[in-house]
Amino acid sequence: MLIVRAPATSANLGSGFDVFGAALGRPADVVRLERAERTSIRVTGAGSQYIPEDPDENTVGAVAEALDAPAHIEIDKGVRPASGLGSSAASAAAAAVGLNELYGRGYSREELVSIAAEGEAVVSGTAHADNVAPSILGGFTVARADGVAQVDASIPLVACLPEIVVSTRDARAVVPDGMRMEQLVDVVGSAATLAIGMARDDPALVGTGMADGVVTPARAELIAGYDAVREAALESGATGVTISGAGPAVIAACREPDRREIAGAMVDAFEAEDVDARAYQTRIGEGTTIH
C-alpha cells in the first residue's frame, strides 16, 4: 500500500500558452493505492461528486491500464475539477508515480510525464503535458512535443479560485486562431523574461513575464470580475497577475511579505462582484511525493 501526494499546477502562466507550467505548494490530491486483481476507484474531497469512478472514464484508470498495474485507488481531491489548477493532472500524476513504484515498473519521472499525459486524454480529449509535467517533476516546466525542461523555483504565489465554472472547452474556443508578428514579438519577449525569472527565482521578472496580449484578454471575458481582481492584486504588490490554466482561478506572483494582503485583496475584489472566492497562499514547490 502506498500514499502519494501530487500538487495542483498552473499551466500557461500568461505568456506560455500550452507550454509553461508550475507546481503549487498547495492544494494537492492525496491518493492511496493498493494492488488488486482489477482496478477500482473511489473519489472523495473537493468536487468529487463530478468525477466518475468508472476506470474507463477516469484519468487514473487510463494510467493504471497504460502501466498494466491494476489497483484499488482512493483519491482524496484537494484540487477542485474545472478550477484551472490542474485537477485531473494531479490525480494522473499521483497514479503514474505511485503505480510505477507499487509495481516496480522502473520508468523515469520524465517517462511518467508522457504516461500521465495519455491518462489526461481520457478527460480532455488530447494528451497534453503542461499540467502533468510540473505535478510530477515540481518547479517550473516547459513542455514541448519532444520533451520537457524543468528548473526548481520557489516564487511566492497567490492562487485565487472563484466559485464560478468555466469549461476548458469554452476557454479554448475563445483562443484566437492566429496573431500578428508584433504580438508574437511581445509574447516571445514575455515568455523569455518569465523563464529567466524562474531560473533566477526572481518574482519581479516572473511577474513581468506573465504579460500576454493574445490568449489572456480573450479568456478574461469568461471570468466575472477578472480585471478588478487583477488590479486589486497589483495595487497590493503583486509583480504579475494572470489566469491560471483555462481559468477561472487567477494567479498572482509576488514577494513573500505581500502575499497575505494580495490574497485578501483578490478575494474582496471577487466578492465586490458578488462572486465567492478562496485564495491559496502558496509558492512554486515540489512535484509528486511518495509517503
Q: Find the shortest distance in angstroms from Cβ 171 to ligand HSE.
A: 6
Q: Find the shortest distance in angstroms from Cβ 216 to ligand HSE.
A: 10
Nearer to ligand HSE, 102 or 136 (CB): 136
**Known catalytic membership, residue 59:** no
H-helix segments, 103-180: 109-124, 132-137, 168-173
Please name every residue paired with 71 in a beta bridge, in sequence order, or none if there are none: 35
Nearer to ligand HSE, 11 or 232 (CB): 11
Q: Find the shortest distance in angstroms from Cβ 227 to ligand HSE.
A: 19
Number of Cβ within 10 Å of residue 152's Cβ equals 16
**Known catalytic membership, residue 168:** yes
Nearer to ligand HSE, 24 or 267 (CB): 24
Q: Are strands 71-77 and 40-45 parallel, antiparallel or unpaired?
A: parallel
Q: Find the shortest distance in angstroms from Cβ 140 to ligand HSE.
A: 15
Please name every residue paired with 6 in a beta bridge, in sequence order, or none if there are none: 29
Residues that bind ligand HSE (CB under 6 A): 11-12, 18, 130-131, 168, 171-172, 245-246
Cell of 201: 527565482
Q: Are strands 156-162 and 147-151 parallel, antiparallel or unpaired?
A: unpaired
Residue of closest CB approach to ligand HSE: 246
Set 53, 65, 168, 286: catalytic member: 168
Instruction: Give the start-end residues of each E strand in 56-110.
Output: 71-77
Set 9, 59, 118, 120: catalytic member: 120
Nearer to ligand HSE, 76 or 130 (CB): 130
Nearest to 160 by CA among 50, 23, 281: 281
Q: Find the shortest distance in angstroms from Cβ 60 to ligand HSE.
A: 17
User: Which residue is it, cell 495519455?
Assistant: 118
Nearer to ligand HSE, 71 or 198 (CB): 198
Nearer to ligand HSE, 134 or 245 (CB): 245
- Dihedral Cα 166, 250, 220, 169, nearest 10 deg: -30
Q: Find the shortest distance in angstroms from Cβ 276 to ligand HSE.
A: 23
Number of Cβ within 10 Å of residue 159's Cβ equals 25
Q: Which residues contact 8 (CB under 8 A, 6 or more apart)?
A: 23, 24, 26, 27, 28, 78, 79, 83, 85, 86, 87, 90, 135, 159, 280
Residues designated as active site: 120, 168
